[in-house]
């Protein structure tokens, strides 16, 4: 491989990583989400859904849909428009890393 091509490839990989987001970066970005979605990803706002433990695939799709206008909400559309694709991946990595345990009601 020619050195110039290798350098271009290296830059291309760095600029558009194909690997998943970094949960540590997502954690710091999530400060702007916690008022509605809870610090632990469990929402205290009855209108906002829990994010903890959702799959990264689903979280990324939901945020990209708000960003592109395919899904609309007066709060989330604005917020998602301010997020880069990379930051969406970081946030998805953070919230999907939560382990959630549930207890079905005793009926
Ligand atoms: C002002 C309150 C508020 C803030 C701040 C906020 N959200 Fe939301 N979020 C909501 C509400 C309300 C909904 C439900 C909207 C709907 O019905 O589509 C939602 C929906 C979502 C969904 C879709 C979940 C699902 O189950 O489909 C994701 C993902 C999400 N928010 C991520 C985030 C992230 C990441 C941040 C921070 C960058 C953030 N939100 C900040 C209120 C908020």
Among 19-23, 29-33, 56-60, 98-102, name the one with the lowest average pLDDT.
19-23
How many whole angstroms separate alpha carbon 70 and alpha carbon 106? Answer: 39
Residue, of 23 and 20, whose pLDDT is higher: 23
Residue, of 5 and 78, whose pLDDT is higher: 78
- In sequence order, the 6+-apart residues with CB closer than 8 A to the CB of 21 are 56, 86, 88, 89, 90, 91, 92, 93, 94
Q: What is the CA(6)–ligand 1 centre distance, in A?
A: 40
Query: What is the number of residues in the chain?
Result: 107
Residue 13: the pLDDT is 46
Residue 1: the pLDDT is 60
* Residue of the CA atom closest to atom 26 of ligand 1: 49
* Residue of the CA atom closest to atom 31 of ligand 1: 76
Among 2-6, 15-19, 33-37, 67-71, name the one with the lowest average pLDDT.
15-19
């Amino acid at each position: 491989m020619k050195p110039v091509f290798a350098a271009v490839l290296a830059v291309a990989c760095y600029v558009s990583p194909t690997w998943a987001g970094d949960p540590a970066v997502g954690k710091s970005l999530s400060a702007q989400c916690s008022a509605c979605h809870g610090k632990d990803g469990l929402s205290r706002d009855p209108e906002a859904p829990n994010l903890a433990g959702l799959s990264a695939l689903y979280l990324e799709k939901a945020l990209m849909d708000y960003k592109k206008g395919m899904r609309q909400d007066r709060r989330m559309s604005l917020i998602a428009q301010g997020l880069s694709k990379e930051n969406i991946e970081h946030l998805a990595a953070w919230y999907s890393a939560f382990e959630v345990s549930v207890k079905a009601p005793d009926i």
